[in-house]
Amino acid sequence: MIPRAKTRGAFTLIELLVVIAIIAILIGLLVPAVQKVREAAGRIEFSNQMHQVGLATHNYHDTTGSFPYYYGSPTTYANGMVSGSGEFLLLPFIEQDNLYNSTQGAIAYSYNYSYTYNYSYNGSSYNYSYGPYNYSYNYGYTWFQAQRAHGTLKMYVNKMDPTARGIDGASSIMMNYNVYGYNMTMGKITDGTSNTIMLAEGFTNCAQTTYYDYSQYGYAAGSHYSYANASSRLWNYDPLNYTYTSKSDYNYDSRVSPPIYKYDSTYTGSGPPYFSPYGSYNSKTGTSVPFQVKPQATNCDPYGAQASTSGGCIVCLADASVRIVNPSITMTTWTAAGTATGGETLGSDW
């Protein structure tokens, strides 16, 4: 008789749970490592993009004699003029000549807005509404205009910017308005090109609420001033194509003691891709930070810089070199590096 082979029974419940636990631990160890590798690769790729935009700025300067203005339209009306953001002006210098040339046409001015104002005073209410109002006008001159340009340009978008997806004209590269100012030249950067921030990373779509508690001024509890600003920073922003929606609610009642004061306002629109080197202010905490680190899109300063990773904010200096600024940098040093002619000495945290 042939002996029967020994067979092993099925996994016990305890053994199965142990295996699942081991797999869970391995996944828990692997995911952060993969995330770090992705962030590192993303930083390298975006740093290269920012470097290319820095070089394009230098080429623009060599061609025209000055930096592109971060946004604007010529004060002189003539054929061949340009209206758009500074990044729109850089299109021919980042191999986007065809896109730039496609925007040439009769200069058009368009203005679209909607405004609502609700007003309540001692129990009496008043409501005012304007729009949607649309206005357009052709000047008869042939210009290059950003409002005719559309699409997503890889050069301007950071893959780690969670707000850029699906946005026409999205930009994650913000111009320092102290450098991309009117008629700004390389020679005017007296602080030194290697000590001056020219570009910084930021989020395309930002929304932030400024809130002030008015109960501290003798008004009833809950009295406040609140302003919510939601803005998209776009490379194809055109100051001659202005669109926004605004709503305000005001309530004041002096029949009670202490009186009640409430003001709430919301604004939604678009603007050029720029940042202020004077930091981001949080009205609820009363503090400012040089730049925000991975903020939520609903608590994102549309005038500041945003780091897409916890490692720091990627910046391009005026000499076109790129570096990562540590989140621990002080406001004093960040602001000093953001001014072109301040004469400040950068701190040891630079």
- How would residue 40 be classed by pLDDT, with cut points 50, 70 and 90? confident
> For residue 248, which of 114, 113, 119 has the smallest C-alpha distance?
119
What is the average per-residue pLDDT within 244-259? 95
How high does pLDDT run on average in the chain? 90
Closest to 312 in 3D by CA, of 322, 303, 302: 322
Residue 207 CB-half CA count within 13 A: 11
Torsion sign over Cα 137, 139, 142, 144: negative
Q: What angle (nearest 5°) sits at the alpha carbon of residue 71, between those of residues 68 and 76? A: 80
Q: To the nearest 10°, the Cα dihedral for 304, 307, 313, 317?
A: -50
pLDDT at 7 over 60: no
* pTM of the complete model: 0.86
- Four-CA torsion 194, 317, 306, 246, nearest 10 degrees: 120
Query: What is residue 78's predicted lDDT score, i.e. its pLDDT?
Result: 81
| Model confidence pLDDT, tens digit, residues 308-334 | 999 999 999 999 999 999 999 999 999
> What pLDDT score does 10 carry?
63
Q: Tens digit of pLDDT for each residue in 108-142?
A: 888 888 889 999 999 999 998 877 777 777 777 88
Is the pLDDT assigned to residue 284 strictly greater than 80?
A: no
CA 47/CA 314 separation, integer angstroms: 7
Pick the closest to residue 198 from 181, 215, 177, 176 (CA basis). 176
pLDDT for res 20: 79
| pLDDT of 236 | 97
pLDDT for 3 equals: 54
DSSP E strand boundaries for 91-163: 104-121, 124-145
* Distance separating alpha carbons of residues 316 and 93, to the nearest angstrom: 17
Structure tokens at 190: 């007296």
pLDDT at 76 over 80: no
Condensed to tens digits (0 to 9), the pLDDT of residues 80-108 reads 889 999 999 999 999 999 999 999 998 88
* Residue 137: per-residue pLDDT: 73
Is the pLDDT reported for residue 250 higher than 90?
yes
With 60 as the cut, is the pLDDT of residue 2 above it?
no
Alpha carbon distances (Å) from 295 to 3, 206, 298, 305: 69, 9, 8, 10
Segment 179-199 mean pLDDT: 94
Q: Which residue has the higher pLDDT, 151 or 35?
A: 151
Tokens of 321: 């070199």
pLDDT, position 131 = 74
What confidence tens digit (pLDDT) does each residue in 41-65 have? 889 999 999 999 999 999 999 999 9
pLDDT digits (tens, 9 = 90+) for 203-245: 999 999 999 999 999 999 999 999 999 999 999 999 988 888 9
